[in-house]
Amino acid sequence: MSTVTLNIDDRKVTIPAGTTVLEACRMNNIPIPTLCHDPELTNSGSCRLCVVEVEGMRSLSPSCVTVATQGMQVKTNTRRVKEARKTVLELLVANHPLDCMTCQKMGDCSLAQYAYEYGVKDDVYPGERRNVCLDDSNPFIVRDSNKCILCGKCVRVCEEVQGRSVLDFYQRGFESLVGPAFGSDLSQSDCVLCGSCVSVCPVGALTEKQMIGKGRPWEIKKVQTTCPFCGTGCSFDLNVKAGEVIGVTSNPEAPVNGRALCVKGRFGTDFIHSPNRLTAPLVKKDGEFVEVEWDEALDLVASKLRAIKSEYGADSIAALSSAHCTNEENYLMQKFMRAVIGTNNIDHCART
């Protein structure tokens, strides 16, 4: 593999050819702030927070889209760079609601973190602030465009990872917004509510509705688990506060799915603490469901199946198995039907 050697902040750094200056810095623990960059998405180079000084360049260079070249001289920490980054943050803060105390993203907000690091004050640019309606139209995602910093990560993840292209920019200049076509709500769009946009949002513009008010990042314990909804085997982090699952966040390290999840996995765990959830087998006795032991329940099913089979034949019995189960369980189900019951009447909910 060919490498290039460049100079970052008077340090000699050797990296694989084709690496961006941002990656080169991060490989060498040189901090660079970013808002629109995501390693899994194409680079838009639009937030302009990652700018660095490259010798020979007239303007500051966005490090996320600048490929490092042999002998390049990069400065990441000059006054000019710091001033520019601070100004970019001041501009973003000037058009961002400062209701951090009640914001679901508090403690996990990149804008707040950088504003703190760069000593940004909120009164540098008094003037108009965006004031648009909240999109609260669906059960899972709250979209607050007033908090949006237009980094475009949600737009790119929707297009590049999910292939849906539900979100895009609309209107121009200061009036620019991100949303579904014609400024409609998510519920009126083709959105499948996979929540990938929520997983990449660096601020509180896209949040999980179910988790609002349920816990702060520092109160939450993340427990990695495998999704119970189908056999794909996605894993994610259950967000647990005081022994209660309050929601799910995807984990970029998940081996099967990375950050991607479907609507069920990301937003469907509310059944865990549901009072309607069945936790023991029920058998109807005298017209009423009565809680029984597993042995009793299984004996009842076995005797009924046997009776039906002997009276009407094996083909009078059919089974429909579920995507909730693992592949192994589904295998066993068909084996049971064919070898034990003696019928081919077996189907699966995900077959169609």
Partner 1 sequence: MKSLLDACCERCTHTPEKPCQDYLFCRTEGPICHDDSSCQEKRKQFIEQKRAKTSGSKRILICAGTGCASLGAVSIVQALSDELEKHGLTDRVEVVPTGCHGFCEQGPTFIIEPEGTLYVKVSLEDIPEIINEEILNGKRIERLLTVNSTTLQTTTQFNTNSFFEKQERVVLKNCGFIDPKSIEDYIINDGYKGFVKAVQNLSSDEVIEEVKKSGLRGRGGAGFSTGLKWSFCRQAPGDKKYIICNADEGDPGAFMDRGVLEGDPHSVIEGMLIGAYAIGADEGYVYCRAEYPLAIQHLEVAIAQAEKIGLLGDNILNTGFNFRLEIRQGAGAFVCGEETALMASIEGKRGMPRVRPPFPAQSGLWGKPTNINNVETWSNLPHILRNGADWYGSFGTEKSKGTKIFALTGQVNNTGLVEVPMGTTLREIIFDIGGGIINNRKFKAVQIGGPSGGCLPEELLDLQVDYETLTKAGAMVGSGGLVIMDESTCMVDIARFFLNFSQSESCGKCTPCREGNKRMWEILDRIVKGQGEMEDLERLESLAMVVKDTSLCGLGQNSPNPILSSLKYFRGEFEAHIKDKKCPAHVCTALLTYFIEVDKCKKCGLCAKNCPVNCISGDKNNPYVIDSSKCINCGTCQDKCKFGAVIKQ
**Binding positions for partner 1, rule: CB under 8 A:** 43-49, 51, 59-60, 62, 65, 67, 80, 83-84, 87-88, 91-92, 94-95, 124-125, 127-128, 149-150, 152, 168-176
Q: Pick from 83, 77, 80: which is nearest to 9 by CA?
A: 77
CB 159 to partner 1: min, Å: 11
Our CB check for partner 1 shows the closer of 108 and 159 to be 159
Least distance between partner 1 and beta carbon 10 (Å): 22
Give residue 49's Cα distance to chain centre.
23
By beta-carbon proximity to partner 1, the closer residue of 10 and 175 is 175
Q: How far is the CB of 260 from partner 1 (least distance, A)?
A: 24
Residue placing its CB nearer to partner 1 in the complex, 78 or 327? 78
CB closer to partner 1 out of 130 and 348: 130
Is residue 103 a contact partner of residue 204, using CB atoms and an 8 Å limit?
A: yes
The one-letter amino acid code at 323 reads A
Question: Cβ of residue 87: shortest distance to partner 1, in angstroms?
Answer: 4
Nearer to partner 1, 24 or 346 (CB): 24
Give me the least distance between CB of 330 and partner 1, in Å please. 43
| Residue placing its CB nearer to partner 1 in the complex, 87 or 226 | 87
Query: Residue 206 Cβ, how far from partner 1 at the closest point, in Å?
Result: 18
Shortest distance (Å) from residue 200 CB to partner 1 = 17
Q: How far apart are CA 3 and CA 27, in angstroms?
A: 14
Return the HEC string of the chain: CCEEEEEECCEEEEEECCCEHHHHHHHCCCCCCCCCCCCCCCCCCCCCCCEEEECCCCCCEEHHHCECCCCCEEECCCHHHHHHHHHHHHHHHCCCCCCHHHCCCCCCCHHHHHHHHCCCCCCCCCCCCCCCCCECCCCCEEECHHHCCCCCHHHHHHHHHCCCCCCEEECCHHHCEEECHHHCCHHHCCCCCCCHHHHHCCCCCEEEHHHCCCCCHHHCEEEEEECCCCCCCCEEEEEEECCEEEEEECCCCCCCCCCCCCHHHHHCHHHCCCCCCCCCCEEEECCEEEECCHHHHHHHHHHHHHHHHHHHCHHHCCEEECCCCCHHHHHHHHHHHHHHHCCCCEEECCCC
CB nearer partner 1, residue 67 or residue 134: 67
* Least spacing, CB of residue 125 vs partner 1, in Å: 4
Residue with smaller CB distance to partner 1, 176 or 184: 176
